[in-house]
Amino acid sequence: MSRSQRLLDLIQVLRRHRRAVAGAVLAQEVGISLRTLYRDIGTLRAQGAPIDGEAGVGYVLRPGFMLPPLMFAEEEIEALVLGSRWVSERADGLLGNAARNVLAKIGAVLPDDLKDSIAASGMIIGPGEPIAAGDAELATIRQAIRTERKVQIRYADERGATTTRLIWPLALAFFDRVRVVVAWCELRDGYRHFRTDRIATIDVTADRLPRRRAALLREWHRLNEVPEQ
Protein backbone atom coordinates (compact mmCIF):
# COMPACT_ATOMS: atom_id res chain seq x y z
CA MET A 1 0.00 0.00 0.00
CA SER A 2 1.40 3.42 -0.95
CA ARG A 3 1.83 6.11 1.69
CA SER A 4 -0.71 8.38 -0.03
CA GLN A 5 -3.21 5.52 -0.04
CA ARG A 6 -2.58 4.82 3.64
CA LEU A 7 -3.11 8.43 4.68
CA LEU A 8 -6.30 8.63 2.65
CA ASP A 9 -7.60 5.44 4.24
CA LEU A 10 -6.90 6.84 7.71
CA ILE A 11 -8.84 10.04 6.92
CA GLN A 12 -11.77 7.97 5.65
CA VAL A 13 -11.78 5.82 8.79
CA LEU A 14 -11.73 8.91 10.99
CA ARG A 15 -14.67 10.33 9.01
CA ARG A 16 -16.77 7.31 9.96
CA HIS A 17 -16.43 8.02 13.69
CA ARG A 18 -18.06 10.99 15.38
CA ARG A 19 -16.37 10.41 18.73
CA ALA A 20 -12.76 9.82 19.73
CA VAL A 21 -11.46 6.40 18.67
CA ALA A 22 -8.57 4.60 20.31
CA GLY A 23 -5.38 4.49 18.29
CA ALA A 24 -5.33 0.69 18.43
CA VAL A 25 -8.79 0.55 16.84
CA LEU A 26 -7.79 2.96 14.07
CA ALA A 27 -4.58 1.03 13.40
CA GLN A 28 -6.53 -2.22 13.09
CA GLU A 29 -9.10 -0.71 10.70
CA VAL A 30 -6.41 0.74 8.45
CA GLY A 31 -4.24 -2.36 8.73
CA ILE A 32 -1.09 -0.73 10.09
CA SER A 33 0.94 -0.86 13.30
CA LEU A 34 0.22 1.49 16.18
CA ARG A 35 3.60 3.10 15.71
CA THR A 36 2.83 3.81 12.05
CA LEU A 37 -0.56 5.20 13.04
CA TYR A 38 1.01 7.74 15.41
CA ARG A 39 3.41 8.78 12.67
CA ASP A 40 0.58 9.13 10.13
CA ILE A 41 -1.53 11.16 12.55
CA GLY A 42 1.41 13.55 12.90
CA THR A 43 1.79 13.76 9.10
CA LEU A 44 -1.89 14.56 8.58
CA ARG A 45 -1.83 17.20 11.30
CA ALA A 46 1.20 18.81 9.67
CA GLN A 47 -0.77 18.95 6.41
CA GLY A 48 -3.62 20.78 8.12
CA ALA A 49 -6.01 17.98 9.09
CA PRO A 50 -7.88 19.05 12.31
CA ILE A 51 -7.39 15.83 14.28
CA ASP A 52 -7.95 16.18 18.03
CA GLY A 53 -6.74 13.73 20.68
CA GLU A 54 -3.60 11.97 21.79
CA ALA A 55 -2.20 8.54 22.50
CA GLY A 56 -4.12 6.77 25.26
CA VAL A 57 -7.17 9.02 24.80
CA GLY A 58 -8.11 8.50 21.17
CA TYR A 59 -8.48 10.61 18.04
CA VAL A 60 -11.34 12.40 16.31
CA LEU A 61 -11.50 14.41 13.07
CA ARG A 62 -13.29 17.71 13.57
CA PRO A 63 -16.29 18.28 11.24
CA GLY A 64 -15.90 20.32 8.08
CA PHE A 65 -12.49 19.05 7.01
CA MET A 66 -12.19 18.77 3.23
CA LEU A 67 -9.64 16.47 1.64
CA PRO A 68 -7.00 18.17 -0.49
CA PRO A 69 -7.97 18.12 -4.16
CA LEU A 70 -7.01 15.06 -6.18
CA MET A 71 -6.22 12.86 -3.19
CA PHE A 72 -7.49 9.60 -4.65
CA ALA A 73 -7.42 6.01 -3.51
CA GLU A 74 -5.92 3.49 -5.93
CA GLU A 75 -9.37 2.02 -6.70
CA GLU A 76 -10.69 5.54 -7.33
CA ILE A 77 -7.90 6.16 -9.82
CA GLU A 78 -8.73 2.89 -11.58
CA ALA A 79 -12.39 3.96 -11.73
CA LEU A 80 -11.39 7.30 -13.24
CA VAL A 81 -9.12 5.64 -15.79
CA LEU A 82 -11.75 3.06 -16.75
CA GLY A 83 -14.53 5.62 -17.02
CA SER A 84 -12.42 8.10 -18.98
CA ARG A 85 -11.21 5.42 -21.39
CA TRP A 86 -14.78 4.20 -21.92
CA VAL A 87 -15.94 7.74 -22.70
CA SER A 88 -13.02 8.33 -25.05
CA GLU A 89 -13.92 5.16 -26.98
CA ARG A 90 -17.73 5.14 -26.80
CA ALA A 91 -18.90 8.75 -26.58
CA ASP A 92 -18.82 11.42 -29.27
CA GLY A 93 -15.61 13.19 -30.24
CA LEU A 94 -16.09 16.21 -27.99
CA LEU A 95 -16.68 14.10 -24.88
CA GLY A 96 -13.88 11.74 -25.89
CA ASN A 97 -11.39 14.62 -26.08
CA ALA A 98 -12.69 15.96 -22.77
CA ALA A 99 -12.13 12.57 -21.12
CA ARG A 100 -8.55 12.42 -22.37
CA ASN A 101 -7.95 15.96 -21.13
CA VAL A 102 -9.30 15.04 -17.70
CA LEU A 103 -6.82 12.19 -17.35
CA ALA A 104 -3.96 14.43 -18.49
CA LYS A 105 -4.89 17.17 -16.00
CA ILE A 106 -5.25 14.72 -13.12
CA GLY A 107 -1.97 13.01 -13.97
CA ALA A 108 -0.16 16.37 -14.03
CA VAL A 109 -0.90 17.17 -10.39
CA LEU A 110 -1.03 13.79 -8.65
CA PRO A 111 1.82 12.68 -6.36
CA ASP A 112 4.41 10.62 -8.22
CA ASP A 113 3.37 7.28 -6.69
CA LEU A 114 -0.25 7.83 -7.74
CA LYS A 115 0.66 9.37 -11.10
CA ASP A 116 2.34 6.09 -12.02
CA SER A 117 -0.97 4.31 -11.33
CA ILE A 118 -2.57 6.07 -14.31
CA ALA A 119 0.20 5.18 -16.76
CA ALA A 120 0.40 1.57 -15.55
CA SER A 121 -3.33 0.99 -15.14
CA GLY A 122 -4.59 -2.40 -16.32
CA MET A 123 -8.05 -1.02 -17.11
CA ILE A 124 -8.73 -1.66 -20.82
CA ILE A 125 -11.84 -0.99 -22.89
CA GLY A 126 -12.58 -3.68 -25.45
CA PRO A 127 -13.48 -2.86 -29.07
CA GLY A 128 -17.10 -2.07 -29.82
CA GLU A 129 -19.31 -1.28 -32.79
CA PRO A 130 -19.49 2.35 -33.96
CA ILE A 131 -22.64 4.26 -33.02
CA ALA A 132 -24.55 6.12 -35.68
CA ALA A 133 -25.46 9.44 -34.03
CA GLY A 134 -23.28 12.42 -35.01
CA ASP A 135 -21.08 14.42 -32.66
CA ALA A 136 -22.82 17.75 -33.33
CA GLU A 137 -26.23 16.25 -32.56
CA LEU A 138 -25.07 14.87 -29.22
CA ALA A 139 -23.39 18.14 -28.29
CA THR A 140 -26.67 19.95 -29.01
CA ILE A 141 -28.60 17.55 -26.80
CA ARG A 142 -26.11 17.92 -23.96
CA GLN A 143 -26.30 21.70 -24.22
CA ALA A 144 -30.11 21.61 -24.05
CA ILE A 145 -29.91 19.36 -20.97
CA ARG A 146 -27.46 21.70 -19.23
CA THR A 147 -29.48 24.85 -20.00
CA GLU A 148 -32.87 23.17 -19.32
CA ARG A 149 -34.36 24.14 -22.70
CA LYS A 150 -37.14 22.48 -24.65
CA VAL A 151 -36.11 20.82 -27.89
CA GLN A 152 -38.09 20.24 -31.06
CA ILE A 153 -37.18 17.08 -32.95
CA ARG A 154 -38.38 15.19 -35.99
CA TYR A 155 -38.37 11.57 -34.89
CA ALA A 156 -38.78 8.28 -36.78
CA ASP A 157 -40.21 5.22 -35.01
CA GLU A 158 -39.16 1.61 -35.67
CA ARG A 159 -41.41 1.50 -38.77
CA GLY A 160 -39.96 4.71 -40.20
CA ALA A 161 -43.04 6.86 -39.51
CA THR A 162 -41.95 10.40 -38.64
CA THR A 163 -43.54 12.77 -36.12
CA THR A 164 -42.59 16.19 -34.81
CA ARG A 165 -42.11 16.25 -31.05
CA LEU A 166 -41.52 18.97 -28.49
CA ILE A 167 -39.54 17.33 -25.70
CA TRP A 168 -37.91 18.26 -22.41
CA PRO A 169 -34.53 16.46 -22.47
CA LEU A 170 -33.47 15.23 -19.02
CA ALA A 171 -30.60 12.81 -19.57
CA LEU A 172 -28.53 11.11 -22.24
CA ALA A 173 -28.00 7.37 -21.77
CA PHE A 174 -25.06 5.60 -23.42
CA PHE A 175 -25.52 1.93 -24.26
CA ASP A 176 -23.15 -0.33 -26.16
CA ARG A 177 -24.88 0.18 -29.51
CA VAL A 178 -27.28 3.10 -29.09
CA ARG A 179 -27.65 6.40 -27.29
CA VAL A 180 -30.99 7.35 -25.82
CA VAL A 181 -32.47 10.68 -24.76
CA VAL A 182 -34.63 10.50 -21.64
CA ALA A 183 -37.29 13.21 -22.00
CA TRP A 184 -40.80 14.37 -21.28
CA CYS A 185 -42.77 14.37 -24.55
CA GLU A 186 -45.49 17.00 -24.87
CA LEU A 187 -47.17 15.07 -27.71
CA ARG A 188 -47.52 11.90 -25.61
CA ASP A 189 -47.90 13.76 -22.29
CA GLY A 190 -45.42 11.48 -20.57
CA TYR A 191 -41.82 10.36 -20.26
CA ARG A 192 -40.40 8.78 -23.38
CA HIS A 193 -37.04 7.47 -24.60
CA PHE A 194 -35.71 8.59 -27.99
CA ARG A 195 -32.90 6.83 -29.83
CA THR A 196 -30.53 9.49 -31.12
CA ASP A 197 -29.97 7.63 -34.40
CA ARG A 198 -33.69 8.08 -35.17
CA ILE A 199 -33.68 11.86 -34.67
CA ALA A 200 -33.80 13.41 -38.15
CA THR A 201 -33.64 17.07 -37.08
CA ILE A 202 -33.14 18.84 -33.78
CA ASP A 203 -33.72 22.44 -32.75
CA VAL A 204 -33.16 23.88 -29.28
CA THR A 205 -35.91 26.38 -28.48
CA ALA A 206 -35.76 29.47 -26.25
CA ASP A 207 -38.39 27.97 -23.93
CA ARG A 208 -37.18 26.81 -20.54
CA LEU A 209 -38.53 23.69 -18.86
CA PRO A 210 -41.58 24.46 -16.69
CA ARG A 211 -40.03 22.50 -13.81
CA ARG A 212 -36.44 22.00 -12.72
CA ARG A 213 -34.70 19.20 -14.56
CA ALA A 214 -33.45 17.60 -11.34
CA ALA A 215 -37.02 17.23 -10.04
CA LEU A 216 -38.22 15.79 -13.36
CA LEU A 217 -35.34 13.33 -13.43
CA ARG A 218 -36.09 12.17 -9.90
CA GLU A 219 -39.70 11.60 -10.94
CA TRP A 220 -38.55 9.60 -13.98
CA HIS A 221 -36.29 7.46 -11.76
CA ARG A 222 -39.20 6.78 -9.42
CA LEU A 223 -41.71 5.94 -12.16
CA ASN A 224 -39.28 3.67 -13.99
CA GLU A 225 -37.81 2.13 -10.81
CA VAL A 226 -34.34 3.12 -11.91
CA PRO A 227 -31.85 3.77 -9.08
CA GLU A 228 -30.65 7.37 -9.00
CA GLN A 229 -26.97 7.82 -9.92
The pLDDT tens digits of the residues spanning 43-56 come to 999 888 899 999 88
The pLDDT of residue 130 is above 80: no
- How would residue 60 be classed by pLDDT, with cut points 50, 70 and 90? very high
DSSP letters, 137-196, are: HHHHHHHHHHHTEEEEEEEE-TT--EEEEEEEEEEEEE-SS-EEEEEEETTTTEEEEEEG
What is the pLDDT at residue 146?
Answer: 93
Higher-pLDDT residue of 119 and 161 is 161
| Average of per-residue pLDDT across 211-222 | 94
| Average of per-residue pLDDT across 136-159 | 92
What is the pLDDT at residue 113?
Answer: 67
| Average of per-residue pLDDT across 181-192 | 96
The pLDDT tens digits of the residues spanning 63-112 come to 766 655 456 777 778 888 888 888 888 888 888 888 888 888 777 767 67
Q: Measure the CA–CA gap between 69 and 151, rounded to whole angstroms.
A: 37
The pLDDT of residue 184 is above 90: yes
Q: Which positions ≥6 away from 75 have C-beta within 8 Å?
A: none
What is the pLDDT at residue 132?
Answer: 57
The pLDDT of residue 123 is above 70: yes
What is the pLDDT at residue 66?
Answer: 61
